[in-house]
A and B are shown apart, each in its own frame.
Chain A
Amino acid sequence: MRVVIAEDLALLRDGLIRLLTTHGFEVLEAVDNGPMLLAALLKHRPDVAVIDVRLPPTHTDEGLRVALEARRRVKGLPVLILSQYVEQLYARELLSDRSGGIGYLLKDRVGDVEQFVESVRSVAAGGTALDSEVVSQLLTRRDDRLAALTPREREVLAMMAEGLSNQAIAGKLVVTDKAIGKHTSNIFAKLGLPPDDDLNRRVMAVLAYLES
């Protein structure tokens, strides 16, 4: 799998290169600033890009802005944004083009190597991987657009947002895959998502969740 990395701190950049290479990724280019990132993304069109949100020259949310710009030019280009903090606002912006292939994780999660690599792969495949902190922030809201869902269905939806497969969710909740399959079809039906390919419906369900 071909990947582009953007991270301005050399220590972390080298760590990411090492981590992804040992897990079978081919690192096409690793850059340390926004403009070079945009050029690299347009040139290589990688299977997935792993991007630090804060990059030179502005040292603000340059990585996010470049990712959005690149996705305007290359529809659905899979990007996984890493950050020292997460904002729901940014998660919404990333998903607003409704084309999936979005990851948004705290940098801490890189330490959980197996799960992190799994997230990178799921984003490359067009799925979503939102940090559990973004997801848990959503649970505090008093909006009732998701009121039709049962507590269990909400739980399943939250895990879908984090990028877990039905199988992984079943494992966590200690139930059968079939039971989770039933929950997910209920969720899709209640959110009014028409039959479509499963991955796309998952992204749409997550988006409905974010926008509640």
Chain B
Amino acid sequence: MRLFTNAATGVAALVLLLALPFARRRVLAAARRLAGSDPGDLRLVAWLFVHGVTGPAALLGVVVMLSALGVIWTLRTAETSMAVTLTLSLSMLAIVSLAAGFGHLATRAQARLADLLLHPDTRVRELADAQAAELRRIERDLHDGAQARLISIRMTLGLARSAPDPRGLIEEAWESAGQALTDLRDLVRNIHPPVLADRGLVGALQAAALLCPVPVRLDLDLEGRPEAPVESALYFAATEALSNVAKHSGASSAWVRLTYADGVLRLTVGDDGRGGADPAAGTGLRGIARRLSAFEGTLTVHSPPGGPSELIMELPCALSSPKISLSSGTG
């Protein structure tokens, strides 16, 4: 159980912290191994302290609560009235659930704290790396695609200027120009799909569902629009999920649900296919998780062998008020 491991590693962290002034380098190396991460010395020491205190404290809290049970047990033997027995049993039950709840919350809070202390830098760095790679890809696509075609069109038309019969060359330039447009269109679609700008997340998901070879049932309930980067992240996550459905699930139907409640946007993509999707195995699911994590969002995968599968993407965000519909006045 997490509570015990945390308590044990917490004690280890405390020991390391105490040993720090005497063997700095070796202690830090050991701390890095314990943390499984290298966020820099200062953060590492802060984590040792926080983990050393909260790890054992959480277990201690649970133990104290449970020991109250012993006291009640003793009281019970002294009193036998029905009402008292009932009250005492109920309070024992309350204490047990309180202890369980506290243990659960404490371990979650610890994980969150540790994540904040140990991983914030790597997350930002990963994101920056992904962005830089994306820009490089766009640059390369433009360079090898539309730009190269425009150069070739200019060359062809340059030749046509002085050719006795330029018709063949003009035809060639005309073809190239068409291809350049196709290249640019594909590129734009991958940067920011125009339908997302036009219609927001709901419209873009409707459009994406129409392009999925598997019939998709839609249940989209969203008043207002999230920020553009959030829309974009969820849209690309959804299209990735739908393309997985089409490619791997063998499903005969799929569904997409979008809801917003308590400041959390929740998008579910499900299918009745064969299941067994493993977030650790495919780069697709990892990519979705990475896109979402940039906005503190999470991906949960339910995909038992034999299906059905459901991907639940949750992302905390605020919505702008619904867009005012187009005015039809003249002007």
Contacts and interface: CB of A to CB of B under 8 A. Distances in A.
B135 interface: no
Interface in A1-53: 34-36, 38-39
Contact of A140 (B194, B199, B206, B213): B213
A45 B216 CA distance: 39
Contacts of A92: 210
B4 to A, nearest CB: 51
Contact of A89 (B185, B195, B327, B331): B195
Interface in A66-99: 66, 69, 84-85, 87-89, 92
Interface centre among A60, A84, A111 (most CB of B within 10 A): A60
Dominant secondary structure at the A interface: helix
A88 B194 contact: no
Given A34-B326, A35-B331, A36-B331, A60 B198 contact: yes
Given A34-B326, A35-B329, A87-B207, A61 B199 contact: yes
Contacts of B203: 89
Contacts of A143: 215
A36 B194 contact: no
A141 B174 CA distance: 32
A108 interface: yes
A83 to B, nearest CB: 8
Contacts of A108: 178, 181-182
Nearest to B186: A85
Contacts of A84: 185, 188, 194
Given A85-B185, A108-B178, A142-B213, A62 B326 contact: yes
B63 to A, nearest CB: 59
Contacts of B327: 35
Contact of A38 (B177, B185, B330): B330
A205 B221 CA distance: 32
Interface string A163-184: 0000000000000000000000
A137 interface: yes
Contacts of A142: 213-215
A88 B211 contact: yes
B29 interface: no
Interface in B287-331: 326-331
A84 B187 CA distance: 12
B206 A89 contact: yes
B197 interface: yes
Interface in B199-228: 199, 203, 206-207, 210-211, 213-215
Nearest to B211: A137
A38 B210 contact: no
A39 B331 CA distance: 9
Contacts of B177: 111
Given A111-B174, A111-B177, A89 B330 contact: no
A209 to B, nearest CB: 13
B326 A88 contact: no
Interface string B68-83: 0000000000000000
B189 interface: yes
A108 B186 CA distance: 13
A65 interface: yes
A87 B195 CA distance: 8
Given A87-B210, A88-B211, A89-B199, 20 more contacts: A35-B329, A36-B331, A38-B328, A60-B197, A60-B199, A61-B199, A66-B326, A69-B326, A85-B188, A87-B195, A89-B206, A89-B210, A106-B181, A108-B181, A108-B182, A111-B177, A111-B178, A141-B213, A141-B215, A142-B214
18 contacts: A34-B326, A35-B328, A35-B331, A38-B328, A39-B330, A60-B197, A60-B199, A61-B199, A85-B189, A85-B194, A85-B195, A87-B195, A87-B210, A92-B210, A111-B174, A140-B211, A140-B213, A142-B213
Interface of A: 34-36, 38-39, 54, 58, 60-62, 65-66, 69, 84-85, 87-89, 92, 106-108, 111, 137, 140-143
